[in-house]
């Protein structure tokens, strides 16, 4: 640890996995770190998840490990940036708690928003009670009551909701939702062993170590039925059951099933809460609204502006291991920047 680093302030905006990991790493390098989180708890989306793919690791354990070693990081929850001014060297940042910080570098770890599934009206989210999202199901796994889940006997999962979809302006793949669907399908089958569970997918994107095993287990151990094809329409009968129309593109024929529960795999979209910061700092965004790094190959953690860096899902969909790796890389990029500009 270099003692002179303590004289340098770094402000990290966003207290999810990326912000926490980057703050810890910068702290271990000796910098004075201010971590700003707008919600009343640290953890970002990780704090909402129950178990993580591909191995079923409890999300609370991962978050607990991360937050157990925050060192001297000064973190503030329920706090936002109210004003940001660029100085000749660094930035003046005023917070909603009245504090003002002169930052030598700024790291944005503002993450993503979950796609608003009610925008896909054909699936009936917000219209039919028994249509829920992947995030609602995580809540239920965590012990939060979800009235729609009442001993379902036939359950469907719809992949690619709000991703790979020109109509909603999101052409990209959200990367995490195939694995989430397979994980959740197995978990719900454990809770309701007699249930028939379908996954309606376009392509299955199960990359990396442990993912293929999870997919094989879903078929062999849990008997999940994978149907290649898009759900085209959902309606409700008078008893509240869902009538789902889909196209089985492998069999080349239409499919109609009646379900008790439909889970929509809402994807990852840009976080609109970062818009005032983007405007104040004149940062570049991509056509889908995620923050645009300077160079996606070798400088993925750098912005176009001096002293501003990015990590995690603010630049696009990421898994937690990707996010943690990026956070460490961002800390190293900041370290190099401050050393070169000393």
Q: Which of 273, 278, 281, 283 binds ligand FAD (CB under 6 A)?
A: 273
Q: Work out whether 120 is an interface residue with ligand SF4 (CB under 6 A).
A: no
**Pick from 170, 269, 271, 333: which binds ligand FAD (CB under 6 A)?**
271
| φ/ψ (deg, to 5) at 68 | -70, -20
| Nearest by Cα to 9 from 33, 35, 43 | 33
Q: Which does 159 bind (CB under 5 to 8 A by kind): ligand FAD, ligand SF4, none?
A: ligand SF4
Who contacts 144 (Cβ-Cβ below 8 Å, separation ≥6)? none
Burial readout 45-65 (b: 16 or more C-beta within 10 A, e: otherwise):
bbbebbbbbbeeeebeebbee
Q: Does 75 bind ligand FAD (CB under 6 A)?
A: no
Asked whether position 125 contacts ligand FAD by CB under 6 A, the answer is: no
* 160 binding ligand SF4? (CB under 6 A): yes
Q: How far is the CB of 272 from ligand FAD (least distance, A)?
A: 9
- Residue 263 is a binding residue for ligand FAD (CB under 6 A): no
Q: Residue 312's binding partner, choosing from ligand FAD, ligand SF4, none, with beta-carbon cut-off 5 to 8 A by kind? A: ligand FAD
The nearest distance, CB 229 to ligand SF4, in angstroms, is 13
Binding residue count for ligand SF4, defined by CB under 6 A: 14
- Map the footprint of ligand SF4 across residues 247-306, applying CB under 6 A: 265, 267
DSSP, collapsed to helix, strand or coil, labels residue 73 as: coil
Residue 109 tokens, joined: 């770890």
**Alpha carbons 336 and 328: distance in angstroms, whole number:** 13
Positive/negative CA dihedral, 54, 58, 62, 65: negative
What is the spatial distance between Cα 309 and Cα 104, in angstroms, rounded to a whole number?
12
- The correct pick among 39, 165, 187, 236 for binding ligand FAD (CB under 6 A) is 39
Contacting positions for ligand SF4 (CB under 6 A): 159-160, 163-164, 173-175, 177-178, 202-203, 205, 265, 267
């Amino acid at each position: 640890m270099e003692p002179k680093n303590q004289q340098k302030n770094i402000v990290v905006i966003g207290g999810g996995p990326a912000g926490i990991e980057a703050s810890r790493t910068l702290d271990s390098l000796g910098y004075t770190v201010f971590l700003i989180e707008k919600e009343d708890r640290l953890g970002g989306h990780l704090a909402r998840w129950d178990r993580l793919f591909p191995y079923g690791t409890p999300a609370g354990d991962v978050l607990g490990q991360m937050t157990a070693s925050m060192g001297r990081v000064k973190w503030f929850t329920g706090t936002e940036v109210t004003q940001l001014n660029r100085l000749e060297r660094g930035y003046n940042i005023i917070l909603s708690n009245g504090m003002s910080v002169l930052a030598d570098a700024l790291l944005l770890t503002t993450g993503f928003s979950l796609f608003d599934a009610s925008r896909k009206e054909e699936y009936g989210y917000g219209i039919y009670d028994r249509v829920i999202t992947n995030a609602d199901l995580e809540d239920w796994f965590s012990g939060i009551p979800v009235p729609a889940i009442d001993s379902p006997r036939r359950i469907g999962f719809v992949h690619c909701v709000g991703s790979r979809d020109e109509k909603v302006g999101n052409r990209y793949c959200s990367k995490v939702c195939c694995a989430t669907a397979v994980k959740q399908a197995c978990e719900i089958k454990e809770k309701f062993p007699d249930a028939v569970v379908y996954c309606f997918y376009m392509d299955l994107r199960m990359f990396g170590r442990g993912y293929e095993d999870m997919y094989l287990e879903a078929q062999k151990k849990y008997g999940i039925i994978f149907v290649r094809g898009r759900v085209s329409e959902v309606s409700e009968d008078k008893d509240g059951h869902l009538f789902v129309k889909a196209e089985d593109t492998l069999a080349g024929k239409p499919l109609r099933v009646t379900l008790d529960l439909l889970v929509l795999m809402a994807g990852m979209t840009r976080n609109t809460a970062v818009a005032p910061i983007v405007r104040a700092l004149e940062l570049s965004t991509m056509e889908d609204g995620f923050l645009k790094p300077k160079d996606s190959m070798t400088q993925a953690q750098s912005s176009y502006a001096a002293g501003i860096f990015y990590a995690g899902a603010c630049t696009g969909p990421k898994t937690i291991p990707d996010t943690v790796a990026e956070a460490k890389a961002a800390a190293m990029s900041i370290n190099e920047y401050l050393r070169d500009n000393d």
